[in-house]
Structure 1
Protein backbone atom coordinates (compact mmCIF):
# COMPACT_ATOMS: atom_id res chain seq x y z
CA UNK A 1 0.00 0.00 0.00
CA UNK A 2 2.92 2.36 -0.66
CA UNK A 3 0.91 4.11 -3.36
CA UNK A 4 -1.95 4.66 -0.91
CA UNK A 5 0.41 6.25 1.62
CA UNK A 6 1.84 8.54 -1.06
CA UNK A 7 -1.60 9.69 -2.23
CA UNK A 8 -2.70 10.28 1.36
CA UNK A 9 0.45 12.34 1.89
CA UNK A 10 -0.39 14.34 -1.22
CA UNK A 11 -3.90 14.89 0.13
CA UNK A 12 -2.55 16.16 3.44
CA UNK A 13 -0.16 18.57 1.72
CA UNK A 14 -2.94 20.01 -0.41
CA UNK A 15 -5.29 20.38 2.57
CA UNK A 16 -2.60 22.37 4.40
CA UNK A 17 -2.47 24.76 1.45
CA UNK A 18 -6.23 24.88 0.71
CA UNK A 19 -7.82 25.60 4.09
CA UNK A 20 -11.42 24.51 4.64
CA UNK A 21 -11.82 22.82 1.24
CA UNK A 22 -11.19 19.18 2.15
CA UNK A 23 -14.04 17.96 -0.07
CA UNK A 24 -12.63 19.89 -3.04
CA UNK A 25 -9.15 18.47 -2.48
CA UNK A 26 -10.54 14.96 -2.28
CA UNK A 27 -12.52 15.37 -5.51
CA UNK A 28 -9.44 16.67 -7.34
CA UNK A 29 -7.43 13.66 -6.17
CA UNK A 30 -10.21 11.29 -7.24
CA UNK A 31 -10.13 12.81 -10.72
CA UNK A 32 -6.36 12.38 -10.84
CA UNK A 33 -6.68 8.74 -9.78
CA UNK A 34 -9.38 8.17 -12.41
CA UNK A 35 -7.27 9.74 -15.18
CA UNK A 36 -9.99 12.34 -15.73
CA UNK A 37 -10.35 16.08 -16.33
CA UNK A 38 -11.86 18.55 -13.85
CA UNK A 39 -13.96 21.70 -14.09
CA UNK A 40 -13.64 23.89 -10.98
CA UNK A 41 -16.38 26.47 -10.54
CA UNK A 42 -16.58 29.07 -7.82
CA UNK A 43 -16.65 32.77 -7.04
CA UNK A 44 -13.44 34.83 -7.30
CA UNK A 45 -10.90 34.29 -4.55
CA UNK A 46 -12.03 30.81 -3.47
CA UNK A 47 -8.65 29.18 -4.29
CA UNK A 48 -9.56 27.54 -7.60
CA UNK A 49 -6.22 28.37 -9.19
CA UNK A 50 -4.40 27.75 -5.91
CA UNK A 51 -5.87 24.24 -5.71
CA UNK A 52 -4.52 23.36 -9.15
CA UNK A 53 -1.11 24.83 -8.39
CA UNK A 54 -1.00 22.98 -5.08
CA UNK A 55 -1.52 19.66 -6.84
CA UNK A 56 1.21 20.42 -9.39
CA UNK A 57 3.58 21.66 -6.68
CA UNK A 58 3.48 18.38 -4.76
CA UNK A 59 3.73 16.14 -7.85
CA UNK A 60 6.88 15.52 -9.87
CA UNK A 61 5.16 16.82 -12.98
CA UNK A 62 5.25 19.55 -15.61
CA UNK A 63 2.74 22.33 -14.98
CA UNK A 64 1.31 24.66 -17.59
CA UNK A 65 -1.13 27.53 -17.23
CA UNK A 66 -3.27 28.87 -20.08
CA UNK A 67 -5.07 32.13 -19.37
CA UNK A 68 -8.16 32.04 -21.58
CA UNK A 69 -9.02 35.39 -23.19
CA UNK A 70 -11.37 36.42 -26.03
CA UNK A 71 -8.45 36.88 -28.45
CA UNK A 72 -6.90 33.44 -27.82
CA UNK A 73 -6.35 31.22 -30.89
CA UNK A 74 -6.50 27.39 -31.05
CA UNK A 75 -2.82 27.28 -32.03
CA UNK A 76 -1.98 29.16 -28.82
CA UNK A 77 -3.09 26.00 -27.01
CA UNK A 78 -2.07 23.11 -29.24
CA UNK A 79 1.05 24.56 -30.83
CA UNK A 80 1.83 25.06 -34.51
CA UNK A 81 4.22 24.23 -37.34
CA UNK A 82 7.27 26.52 -37.40
CA UNK A 83 8.94 27.35 -40.73
CA UNK A 84 12.69 26.61 -40.57
CA UNK A 85 13.72 28.03 -43.94
CA UNK A 86 14.39 26.81 -47.48
CA UNK A 87 17.87 25.50 -46.66
CA UNK A 88 16.69 23.23 -43.84
CA UNK A 89 16.45 19.50 -44.43
CA UNK A 90 13.09 19.63 -42.69
CA UNK A 91 11.31 22.86 -43.58
CA UNK A 92 8.70 22.68 -40.84
CA UNK A 93 8.99 21.61 -37.23
CA UNK A 94 6.20 21.24 -34.70
CA UNK A 95 6.45 23.64 -31.78
CA UNK A 96 4.38 22.18 -28.90
CA UNK A 97 1.89 24.47 -27.18
CA UNK A 98 1.19 24.72 -23.46
CA UNK A 99 -1.27 21.82 -23.64
CA UNK A 100 1.75 19.47 -23.65
CA UNK A 101 2.21 19.25 -19.89
CA UNK A 102 1.21 16.84 -17.13
CA UNK A 103 -1.06 19.25 -15.27
CA UNK A 104 -2.72 21.89 -17.47
CA UNK A 105 -4.58 24.79 -15.84
CA UNK A 106 -7.17 26.26 -18.24
CA UNK A 107 -7.88 29.41 -16.25
CA UNK A 108 -11.27 31.05 -16.82
CA UNK A 109 -11.97 28.68 -19.68
CA UNK A 110 -15.34 30.27 -20.49
CA UNK A 111 -13.69 33.58 -21.48
CA UNK A 112 -12.53 32.17 -24.82
CA UNK A 113 -14.80 31.59 -27.85
CA UNK A 114 -16.06 28.15 -28.84
CA UNK A 115 -13.35 27.58 -31.47
CA UNK A 116 -10.65 27.81 -28.81
CA UNK A 117 -12.60 25.70 -26.31
CA UNK A 118 -13.01 23.04 -29.02
CA UNK A 119 -9.21 22.87 -29.33
CA UNK A 120 -9.21 21.23 -25.90
CA UNK A 121 -11.66 18.49 -26.87
CA UNK A 122 -9.30 16.12 -28.68
CA UNK A 123 -6.62 16.54 -26.02
CA UNK A 124 -9.07 15.94 -23.17
CA UNK A 125 -10.77 12.90 -24.66
CA UNK A 126 -8.27 11.31 -27.06
CA UNK A 127 -5.10 12.40 -25.25
CA UNK A 128 -3.63 13.71 -28.48
CA UNK A 129 -3.71 16.72 -30.79
CA UNK A 130 -3.56 16.84 -34.56
CA UNK A 131 -1.69 19.72 -36.23
CA UNK A 132 -1.00 19.92 -39.97
CA UNK A 133 -2.12 16.31 -40.39
CA UNK A 134 0.30 15.01 -37.76
CA UNK A 135 -0.85 13.44 -34.48
CA UNK A 136 1.04 14.29 -31.30
CA UNK A 137 0.44 12.28 -28.14
CA UNK A 138 -0.03 13.73 -24.67
CA UNK A 139 2.30 12.55 -21.85
CA UNK A 140 1.18 9.45 -19.89
CA UNK A 141 0.18 11.63 -16.92
CA UNK A 142 -2.13 14.26 -18.36
CA UNK A 143 -4.92 16.20 -16.69
CA UNK A 144 -6.81 19.33 -17.75
CA UNK A 145 -8.09 21.36 -14.81
CA UNK A 146 -10.32 24.20 -15.99
CA UNK A 147 -11.77 27.00 -13.88
CA UNK A 148 -14.72 29.28 -14.45
CA UNK A 149 -16.58 32.02 -12.58
CA UNK A 150 -20.35 31.40 -12.27
CA UNK A 151 -21.32 35.06 -11.93
CA UNK A 152 -19.41 36.45 -14.91
CA UNK A 153 -21.72 36.97 -17.90
CA UNK A 154 -20.28 39.78 -20.01
CA UNK A 155 -17.47 38.63 -22.29
CA UNK A 156 -17.94 34.93 -21.53
CA UNK A 157 -18.90 32.00 -23.72
CA UNK A 158 -20.81 29.12 -22.08
CA UNK A 159 -19.06 25.79 -22.50
CA UNK A 160 -20.75 23.58 -25.11
CA UNK A 161 -22.44 20.42 -23.81
CA UNK A 162 -19.96 18.19 -25.67
CA UNK A 163 -17.05 19.76 -23.80
CA UNK A 164 -18.82 19.73 -20.43
CA UNK A 165 -19.43 16.01 -20.83
CA UNK A 166 -15.71 15.40 -21.21
CA UNK A 167 -15.00 16.59 -17.68
CA UNK A 168 -15.04 13.64 -15.31
CA UNK A 169 -16.08 15.93 -12.46
CA UNK A 170 -17.60 19.37 -12.04
CA UNK A 171 -16.41 20.57 -8.64
CA UNK A 172 -18.26 23.43 -7.01
CA UNK A 173 -16.30 25.55 -4.50
CA UNK A 174 -18.15 27.50 -1.79
CA UNK A 175 -17.12 30.05 0.84
CA UNK A 176 -15.07 28.75 3.80
CA UNK A 177 -16.44 28.88 7.35
CA UNK A 178 -15.56 31.79 9.64
CA UNK A 179 -13.04 29.64 11.49
CA UNK A 180 -11.42 28.52 8.24
CA UNK A 181 -11.38 32.14 7.03
CA UNK A 182 -9.20 33.05 9.99
CA UNK A 183 -6.90 30.12 9.23
CA UNK A 184 -6.63 31.28 5.60
CA UNK A 185 -5.49 34.74 6.68
CA UNK A 186 -2.87 33.22 8.98
CA UNK A 187 -1.67 30.88 6.22
CA UNK A 188 -1.23 33.68 3.67
CA UNK A 189 0.48 35.85 6.30
CA UNK A 190 2.86 33.02 7.15
CA UNK A 191 3.77 32.35 3.52
CA UNK A 192 5.79 35.56 3.43
CA UNK A 193 8.11 34.42 6.22
CA UNK A 194 11.58 33.02 5.55
CA UNK A 195 10.83 29.86 7.56
CA UNK A 196 7.98 29.03 5.19
CA UNK A 197 10.15 29.54 2.10
CA UNK A 198 12.86 27.31 3.57
CA UNK A 199 10.34 24.58 4.37
CA UNK A 200 11.07 21.27 2.64
CA UNK A 201 8.68 20.59 -0.23
CA UNK A 202 7.16 17.13 -0.54
CA UNK A 203 6.93 15.78 -4.09
CA UNK A 204 5.14 12.58 -5.11
CA UNK A 205 6.51 10.68 -8.11
CA UNK A 206 4.24 10.04 -11.10
CA UNK A 207 4.87 6.31 -10.69
CA UNK A 208 2.93 6.42 -7.41
CA UNK A 209 -0.13 7.73 -9.29
CA UNK A 210 0.17 4.97 -11.89
CA UNK A 211 0.52 2.36 -9.13
CA UNK A 212 -2.57 3.73 -7.40
CA UNK A 213 -4.55 3.51 -10.64
CA UNK A 214 -3.50 -0.12 -11.04
CA UNK A 215 -4.69 -0.89 -7.51
CA UNK A 216 -8.00 0.90 -8.15
CA UNK A 217 -8.57 -1.35 -11.16
CA UNK A 218 -8.66 -4.26 -8.70
CA UNK A 219 -11.42 -2.72 -6.55
CA UNK A 220 -14.55 -4.86 -6.82
CA UNK A 221 -18.00 -3.54 -7.60
CA UNK A 222 -20.96 -5.89 -7.13
CA UNK A 223 -23.93 -6.33 -9.43
CA UNK A 224 -26.12 -4.55 -6.89
CA UNK A 225 -23.83 -1.49 -6.94
CA UNK A 226 -23.76 -1.52 -10.75
CA UNK A 227 -27.57 -1.62 -10.74
CA UNK A 228 -27.60 1.30 -8.31
CA UNK A 229 -25.41 3.39 -10.63
CA UNK A 230 -27.57 2.51 -13.64
CA UNK A 231 -30.73 3.39 -11.72
CA UNK A 232 -29.35 6.79 -10.70
CA UNK A 233 -28.55 7.59 -14.31
CA UNK A 234 -31.87 6.17 -15.54
CA UNK A 235 -33.73 8.51 -13.19
CA UNK A 236 -32.31 11.45 -15.16
CA UNK A 237 -33.42 9.95 -18.48
CA UNK A 238 -36.83 8.59 -17.47
CA UNK A 239 -37.73 10.80 -14.50
CA UNK A 240 -41.47 10.17 -14.93
CA UNK A 241 -40.89 6.53 -13.92
CA UNK A 242 -39.64 7.73 -10.53
CA UNK A 243 -41.55 10.89 -9.67
CA UNK A 244 -43.93 13.29 -11.43
CA UNK A 245 -42.23 16.41 -10.08
CA UNK A 246 -38.83 15.09 -11.13
CA UNK A 247 -40.10 14.81 -14.72
CA UNK A 248 -40.95 18.51 -14.69
CA UNK A 249 -37.45 19.50 -13.69
CA UNK A 250 -35.22 17.48 -16.04
CA UNK A 251 -34.99 18.33 -19.72
CA UNK A 252 -31.84 16.40 -20.70
CA UNK A 253 -30.62 13.24 -18.99
CA UNK A 254 -27.11 12.02 -18.24
CA UNK A 255 -25.04 10.44 -21.02
CA UNK A 256 -23.26 7.07 -20.69
CA UNK A 257 -20.14 9.02 -19.72
CA UNK A 258 -21.99 9.81 -16.48
CA UNK A 259 -22.36 6.17 -15.49
CA UNK A 260 -18.74 5.48 -16.50
CA UNK A 261 -17.62 8.42 -14.34
CA UNK A 262 -19.66 7.12 -11.38
CA UNK A 263 -18.10 3.68 -11.75
CA UNK A 264 -14.54 5.04 -11.89
CA UNK A 265 -14.94 7.64 -9.16
CA UNK A 266 -16.74 5.33 -6.72
CA UNK A 267 -14.00 2.69 -7.06
CA UNK A 268 -11.33 5.37 -6.53
CA UNK A 269 -13.22 6.63 -3.48
CA UNK A 270 -13.41 3.11 -2.03
CA UNK A 271 -9.66 2.70 -2.57
CA UNK A 272 -8.92 6.03 -0.91
CA UNK A 273 -11.02 4.94 2.09
CA UNK A 274 -9.09 1.62 2.19
CA UNK A 275 -12.01 -0.55 1.13
CA UNK A 276 -11.71 -3.47 -1.26
CA UNK A 277 -15.18 -3.08 -2.76
CA UNK A 278 -17.60 -0.28 -3.58
CA UNK A 279 -20.38 0.59 -1.13
CA UNK A 280 -23.45 2.84 -1.59
CA UNK A 281 -21.64 5.51 0.45
CA UNK A 282 -18.85 5.60 -2.14
CA UNK A 283 -21.34 6.18 -4.95
CA UNK A 284 -23.26 8.85 -3.02
CA UNK A 285 -19.98 10.62 -2.18
CA UNK A 286 -19.20 11.25 -5.86
CA UNK A 287 -22.64 11.37 -7.52
CA UNK A 288 -23.01 15.17 -7.39
CA UNK A 289 -19.57 15.94 -8.81
CA UNK A 290 -20.01 13.35 -11.57
CA UNK A 291 -23.55 14.29 -12.66
CA UNK A 292 -24.22 17.98 -11.91
CA UNK A 293 -22.79 19.18 -15.25
CA UNK A 294 -24.48 16.44 -17.24
CA UNK A 295 -28.09 17.17 -16.27
CA UNK A 296 -30.05 19.66 -18.35
CA UNK A 297 -32.61 21.42 -16.15
CA UNK A 298 -35.96 22.58 -17.50
CA UNK A 299 -37.29 26.12 -17.38
CA UNK A 300 -39.64 25.07 -14.58
CA UNK A 301 -36.70 23.98 -12.42
CA UNK A 302 -34.97 27.30 -12.96
CA UNK A 303 -38.22 29.18 -12.27
CA UNK A 304 -38.58 27.29 -8.99
CA UNK A 305 -35.00 28.18 -8.06
CA UNK A 306 -33.72 24.61 -8.20
CA UNK A 307 -30.14 23.72 -9.03
CA UNK A 308 -28.61 20.52 -10.37
CA UNK A 309 -27.59 19.68 -6.81
CA UNK A 310 -31.20 19.91 -5.65
CA UNK A 311 -32.34 17.57 -8.42
CA UNK A 312 -29.53 15.08 -7.75
CA UNK A 313 -30.35 15.04 -4.03
CA UNK A 314 -33.97 14.30 -4.93
CA UNK A 315 -32.88 11.47 -7.22
CA UNK A 316 -30.68 9.93 -4.48
CA UNK A 317 -33.68 9.90 -2.14
CA UNK A 318 -35.94 8.33 -4.75
CA UNK A 319 -33.67 5.60 -6.10
CA UNK A 320 -33.58 2.49 -3.95
CA UNK A 321 -30.66 0.09 -3.64
CA UNK A 322 -31.45 -3.34 -5.07
Structure 2
Protein backbone atom coordinates (compact mmCIF):
# COMPACT_ATOMS: atom_id res chain seq x y z
CA UNK A 1 0.00 0.00 0.00
CA UNK A 2 1.40 3.33 -0.97
CA UNK A 3 0.11 4.86 2.21
CA UNK A 4 -0.21 8.58 1.58
CA UNK A 5 -1.17 8.55 -2.09
CA UNK A 6 -4.55 9.95 -3.07
CA UNK A 7 -7.00 7.41 -4.44
CA UNK A 8 -6.44 7.14 -8.18
CA UNK A 9 -7.57 5.09 -11.15
CA UNK A 10 -6.09 4.63 -14.61
CA UNK A 11 -7.02 2.61 -17.66
CA UNK A 12 -6.94 2.58 -21.46
CA UNK A 13 -10.24 3.32 -23.19
CA UNK A 14 -11.74 0.18 -24.72
CA UNK A 15 -12.98 -0.13 -28.29
CA UNK A 16 -16.61 -0.15 -27.15
CA UNK A 17 -16.07 3.12 -25.25
CA UNK A 18 -15.01 5.03 -28.38
CA UNK A 19 -17.25 8.01 -29.08
CA UNK A 20 -18.72 8.06 -25.57
CA UNK A 21 -18.48 11.07 -23.25
CA UNK A 22 -15.69 10.73 -20.73
CA UNK A 23 -17.89 11.69 -17.76
CA UNK A 24 -20.36 8.93 -18.64
CA UNK A 25 -17.65 6.29 -18.96
CA UNK A 26 -15.90 7.24 -15.71
CA UNK A 27 -19.19 7.21 -13.81
CA UNK A 28 -19.92 3.79 -15.30
CA UNK A 29 -16.48 2.44 -14.39
CA UNK A 30 -16.75 3.78 -10.85
CA UNK A 31 -20.43 2.99 -10.42
CA UNK A 32 -20.13 1.85 -6.81
CA UNK A 33 -18.10 4.82 -5.68
CA UNK A 34 -19.44 8.02 -7.26
CA UNK A 35 -22.06 9.73 -9.43
CA UNK A 36 -21.84 11.33 -12.87
CA UNK A 37 -22.28 14.80 -11.34
CA UNK A 38 -19.38 14.13 -8.98
CA UNK A 39 -17.23 13.04 -11.94
CA UNK A 40 -18.11 16.27 -13.74
CA UNK A 41 -16.94 18.22 -10.68
CA UNK A 42 -13.65 16.30 -10.65
CA UNK A 43 -13.20 17.16 -14.32
CA UNK A 44 -13.74 20.86 -13.55
CA UNK A 45 -11.08 20.61 -10.82
CA UNK A 46 -8.58 19.08 -13.26
CA UNK A 47 -8.57 15.70 -11.51
CA UNK A 48 -9.24 13.85 -14.78
CA UNK A 49 -6.73 13.68 -17.63
CA UNK A 50 -6.40 11.96 -20.98
CA UNK A 51 -2.80 11.30 -22.03
CA UNK A 52 -1.80 13.57 -19.13
CA UNK A 53 -3.90 16.54 -20.30
CA UNK A 54 -7.10 17.87 -18.66
CA UNK A 55 -10.30 17.55 -20.67
CA UNK A 56 -13.92 18.73 -20.52
CA UNK A 57 -16.90 16.61 -19.50
CA UNK A 58 -18.11 16.30 -23.09
CA UNK A 59 -14.78 14.96 -24.37
CA UNK A 60 -15.43 11.96 -26.67
CA UNK A 61 -13.12 9.03 -26.09
CA UNK A 62 -10.98 7.37 -28.73
CA UNK A 63 -9.73 3.75 -28.52
CA UNK A 64 -6.54 3.58 -26.50
CA UNK A 65 -7.00 6.91 -24.72
CA UNK A 66 -5.10 6.75 -21.43
CA UNK A 67 -7.52 7.99 -18.76
CA UNK A 68 -6.36 8.87 -15.26
CA UNK A 69 -8.52 9.97 -12.35
CA UNK A 70 -6.92 11.28 -9.16
CA UNK A 71 -9.75 11.55 -6.66
CA UNK A 72 -9.50 14.80 -4.65
CA UNK A 73 -9.84 14.61 -0.90
CA UNK A 74 -13.43 15.52 0.10
CA UNK A 75 -13.67 19.19 1.07
CA UNK A 76 -15.60 20.34 4.08
CA UNK A 77 -15.69 16.85 5.57
CA UNK A 78 -13.78 15.82 8.65
CA UNK A 79 -13.61 12.46 10.35
CA UNK A 80 -15.75 12.55 13.48
CA UNK A 81 -14.97 10.73 16.75
CA UNK A 82 -17.01 7.59 17.31
CA UNK A 83 -17.14 5.41 20.40
CA UNK A 84 -15.91 2.21 18.76
CA UNK A 85 -13.92 -0.31 20.87
CA UNK A 86 -10.23 -0.67 20.04
CA UNK A 87 -7.82 -3.54 20.65
CA UNK A 88 -4.69 -1.62 21.67
CA UNK A 89 -1.40 -3.53 21.60
CA UNK A 90 0.76 -0.55 22.63
CA UNK A 91 0.41 3.16 23.30
CA UNK A 92 2.57 6.05 24.48
CA UNK A 93 2.71 9.78 23.76
CA UNK A 94 4.13 9.25 20.24
CA UNK A 95 2.62 6.11 18.75
CA UNK A 96 -0.27 3.73 19.14
CA UNK A 97 -0.42 0.17 17.77
CA UNK A 98 -3.89 -1.28 17.19
CA UNK A 99 -5.08 -4.77 16.28
CA UNK A 100 -7.66 -3.94 13.59
CA UNK A 101 -10.57 -6.39 13.24
CA UNK A 102 -11.60 -7.84 9.90
CA UNK A 103 -14.29 -5.73 8.27
CA UNK A 104 -13.09 -2.35 9.56
CA UNK A 105 -11.89 0.27 7.07
CA UNK A 106 -8.79 2.19 8.16
CA UNK A 107 -9.86 5.74 7.27
CA UNK A 108 -12.99 7.50 5.95
CA UNK A 109 -13.56 7.78 2.20
CA UNK A 110 -16.46 8.49 -0.12
CA UNK A 111 -17.81 4.98 0.33
CA UNK A 112 -17.04 4.65 4.06
CA UNK A 113 -17.65 7.96 5.89
CA UNK A 114 -18.12 6.40 9.34
CA UNK A 115 -17.22 3.38 11.43
CA UNK A 116 -13.54 3.42 10.50
CA UNK A 117 -10.40 2.99 12.58
CA UNK A 118 -9.77 6.75 12.36
CA UNK A 119 -13.23 7.47 13.80
CA UNK A 120 -12.44 5.14 16.70
CA UNK A 121 -8.97 6.64 17.23
CA UNK A 122 -10.34 10.19 17.36
CA UNK A 123 -12.64 9.17 20.20
CA UNK A 124 -9.84 7.37 22.04
CA UNK A 125 -7.12 10.02 21.73
CA UNK A 126 -7.19 13.60 20.51
CA UNK A 127 -3.49 13.90 19.70
CA UNK A 128 -2.97 12.40 16.24
CA UNK A 129 -0.52 13.51 13.57
CA UNK A 130 -1.93 16.02 11.09
CA UNK A 131 0.25 14.95 8.15
CA UNK A 132 -2.46 12.65 6.76
CA UNK A 133 -5.03 15.45 6.65
CA UNK A 134 -8.48 15.62 8.21
CA UNK A 135 -9.55 12.24 6.80
CA UNK A 136 -6.38 10.31 7.67
CA UNK A 137 -4.99 11.78 10.92
CA UNK A 138 -2.12 9.67 12.23
CA UNK A 139 -2.37 7.09 9.47
CA UNK A 140 1.10 6.02 8.33
CA UNK A 141 0.13 2.80 6.55
CA UNK A 142 -3.00 0.80 5.83
CA UNK A 143 -4.23 -2.76 5.66
CA UNK A 144 -7.27 -3.83 3.66
CA UNK A 145 -10.78 -3.71 5.11
CA UNK A 146 -11.04 -7.50 5.29
CA UNK A 147 -7.49 -8.04 6.53
CA UNK A 148 -7.15 -8.20 10.30
CA UNK A 149 -4.11 -7.34 12.39
CA UNK A 150 -1.61 -4.78 13.55
CA UNK A 151 -1.32 -1.21 12.31
CA UNK A 152 0.83 1.62 13.74
CA UNK A 153 -0.53 5.14 14.09
CA UNK A 154 1.44 8.35 14.75
CA UNK A 155 0.35 10.77 17.47
CA UNK A 156 2.44 13.70 16.26
CA UNK A 157 4.17 14.88 13.09
CA UNK A 158 7.65 13.93 14.28
CA UNK A 159 6.56 10.36 14.90
CA UNK A 160 4.73 10.28 11.57
CA UNK A 161 7.82 11.40 9.64
CA UNK A 162 10.00 8.81 11.37
CA UNK A 163 7.61 5.90 10.81
CA UNK A 164 7.03 6.90 7.17
CA UNK A 165 10.80 7.00 6.60
CA UNK A 166 11.16 3.51 8.06
CA UNK A 167 8.48 2.23 5.71
CA UNK A 168 10.27 3.76 2.72
CA UNK A 169 13.54 2.21 3.87
CA UNK A 170 11.82 -1.20 4.16
CA UNK A 171 13.06 -1.50 7.74
CA UNK A 172 9.63 -2.07 9.29
CA UNK A 173 9.02 -5.76 10.05
CA UNK A 174 5.60 -6.87 8.78
CA UNK A 175 4.70 -10.55 8.99
CA UNK A 176 1.37 -12.01 7.97
CA UNK A 177 -0.41 -15.34 8.19
CA UNK A 178 -2.54 -16.46 5.25
CA UNK A 179 -4.49 -19.57 4.34
CA UNK A 180 -4.14 -20.26 0.63
CA UNK A 181 -5.36 -22.78 -1.93
CA UNK A 182 -3.19 -25.62 -3.18
CA UNK A 183 0.00 -27.51 -2.42
CA UNK A 184 3.11 -25.37 -2.71
CA UNK A 185 6.09 -27.03 -4.43
CA UNK A 186 8.63 -25.36 -2.12
CA UNK A 187 8.78 -24.84 1.64
CA UNK A 188 9.79 -21.22 1.19
CA UNK A 189 10.28 -18.68 -1.55
CA UNK A 190 10.32 -15.07 -2.70
CA UNK A 191 7.93 -13.46 -5.16
CA UNK A 192 9.63 -10.53 -6.90
CA UNK A 193 7.07 -9.25 -9.38
CA UNK A 194 5.93 -5.66 -10.10
CA UNK A 195 2.33 -4.71 -9.34
CA UNK A 196 0.15 -2.17 -11.12
CA UNK A 197 -3.53 -1.37 -11.54
CA UNK A 198 -5.42 -3.47 -14.09
CA UNK A 199 -6.41 -1.59 -17.23
CA UNK A 200 -9.47 -3.83 -17.66
CA UNK A 201 -10.98 -3.42 -14.18
CA UNK A 202 -10.11 -0.43 -12.00
CA UNK A 203 -10.84 -2.43 -8.81
CA UNK A 204 -8.09 -4.91 -9.54
CA UNK A 205 -4.31 -4.96 -9.30
CA UNK A 206 -2.11 -7.43 -11.10
CA UNK A 207 1.46 -8.39 -11.83
CA UNK A 208 2.41 -6.30 -14.84
CA UNK A 209 5.28 -4.30 -16.28
CA UNK A 210 3.03 -1.40 -17.32
CA UNK A 211 2.76 1.50 -14.86
CA UNK A 212 3.87 -0.91 -12.14
CA UNK A 213 5.86 -0.62 -8.92
CA UNK A 214 8.51 -2.94 -7.52
CA UNK A 215 6.97 -5.50 -5.14
CA UNK A 216 8.63 -8.28 -3.13
CA UNK A 217 6.95 -10.83 -0.84
CA UNK A 218 8.74 -13.60 1.07
CA UNK A 219 6.86 -16.70 2.25
CA UNK A 220 7.38 -19.84 4.33
CA UNK A 221 4.96 -22.79 4.42
CA UNK A 222 4.02 -23.09 8.10
CA UNK A 223 1.60 -26.00 7.56
CA UNK A 224 0.71 -27.91 4.40
CA UNK A 225 -2.64 -29.67 4.12
CA UNK A 226 -4.13 -31.80 1.35
CA UNK A 227 -5.54 -28.89 -0.65
CA UNK A 228 -4.59 -25.81 1.37
CA UNK A 229 -1.61 -24.30 3.16
CA UNK A 230 -0.94 -21.93 6.04
CA UNK A 231 1.76 -19.47 5.04
CA UNK A 232 3.87 -17.02 7.00
CA UNK A 233 4.61 -14.06 4.74
CA UNK A 234 6.88 -11.06 5.14
CA UNK A 235 6.54 -7.88 3.13
CA UNK A 236 9.65 -6.24 1.78
CA UNK A 237 7.58 -3.62 -0.05
CA UNK A 238 4.02 -2.54 0.67
CA UNK A 239 1.91 -2.25 -2.48
CA UNK A 240 -1.87 -2.21 -2.55
CA UNK A 241 -3.22 -5.79 -2.30
CA UNK A 242 0.37 -7.04 -2.57
CA UNK A 243 0.04 -10.41 -0.83
CA UNK A 244 -3.32 -11.10 -2.46
CA UNK A 245 -2.02 -10.29 -5.96
CA UNK A 246 1.28 -12.15 -5.54
CA UNK A 247 -0.39 -15.30 -4.24
CA UNK A 248 -2.85 -15.31 -7.13
CA UNK A 249 0.08 -14.77 -9.51
CA UNK A 250 1.81 -17.98 -8.37
CA UNK A 251 -1.45 -19.95 -8.45
CA UNK A 252 -2.21 -20.05 -4.71
CA UNK A 253 -4.87 -17.40 -4.01
CA UNK A 254 -6.08 -16.64 -0.51
CA UNK A 255 -9.06 -18.50 0.87
CA UNK A 256 -12.13 -16.24 0.99
CA UNK A 257 -10.62 -13.49 -1.16
CA UNK A 258 -13.67 -11.95 -2.89
CA UNK A 259 -11.56 -10.35 -5.64
CA UNK A 260 -8.53 -12.55 -6.31
CA UNK A 261 -9.68 -15.85 -4.82
CA UNK A 262 -11.65 -18.88 -5.95
CA UNK A 263 -15.39 -19.42 -5.66
CA UNK A 264 -15.08 -23.08 -4.66
CA UNK A 265 -13.66 -24.60 -1.51
CA UNK A 266 -13.42 -23.30 2.03
CA UNK A 267 -15.62 -20.29 2.75
CA UNK A 268 -14.82 -17.21 4.77
CA UNK A 269 -16.17 -13.67 5.02
CA UNK A 270 -13.18 -11.87 3.51
CA UNK A 271 -9.67 -13.09 2.75
CA UNK A 272 -7.87 -15.31 5.26
CA UNK A 273 -5.08 -12.80 5.90
CA UNK A 274 -3.83 -11.52 9.26
CA UNK A 275 -1.09 -8.99 10.02
CA UNK A 276 0.42 -10.91 12.93
CA UNK A 277 3.77 -9.20 13.61
CA UNK A 278 4.74 -5.52 13.43
CA UNK A 279 8.19 -4.25 14.35
CA UNK A 280 9.76 -0.79 14.09
CA UNK A 281 12.11 1.62 15.82
CA UNK A 282 10.41 3.95 18.25
CA UNK A 283 10.26 7.36 16.52
CA UNK A 284 11.75 9.17 19.54
CA UNK A 285 13.83 6.73 21.60
CA UNK A 286 15.06 4.65 18.67
CA UNK A 287 14.34 1.45 20.62
CA UNK A 288 13.20 -1.48 18.48
CA UNK A 289 9.65 -2.49 19.33
CA UNK A 290 7.89 -5.61 18.08
CA UNK A 291 4.30 -6.69 18.64
CA UNK A 292 2.31 -9.82 17.90
CA UNK A 293 -1.43 -10.36 17.49
CA UNK A 294 -3.08 -13.78 17.66
CA UNK A 295 -4.97 -14.98 14.62
CA UNK A 296 -8.68 -14.10 14.71
CA UNK A 297 -11.24 -16.76 15.52
CA UNK A 298 -12.47 -17.24 11.96
CA UNK A 299 -9.00 -18.15 10.71
CA UNK A 300 -8.39 -20.41 13.71
CA UNK A 301 -11.67 -22.17 12.95
CA UNK A 302 -10.58 -22.80 9.36
CA UNK A 303 -7.28 -24.21 10.58
CA UNK A 304 -9.11 -26.47 13.02
CA UNK A 305 -11.19 -27.83 10.13
CA UNK A 306 -8.07 -28.45 8.05
CA UNK A 307 -6.13 -30.04 10.90
CA UNK A 308 -8.95 -32.40 11.85
CA UNK A 309 -9.86 -33.29 8.28
- Higher RCO, 1 vs 2 (CA within 8 Å, ≥6 residues apart): 1
Fold match (TM-score > 0.5): no
Is the helix fraction higher in 1 or 2?
Answer: 1
Give the structure-1-normalised TM-score. Answer: 0.26
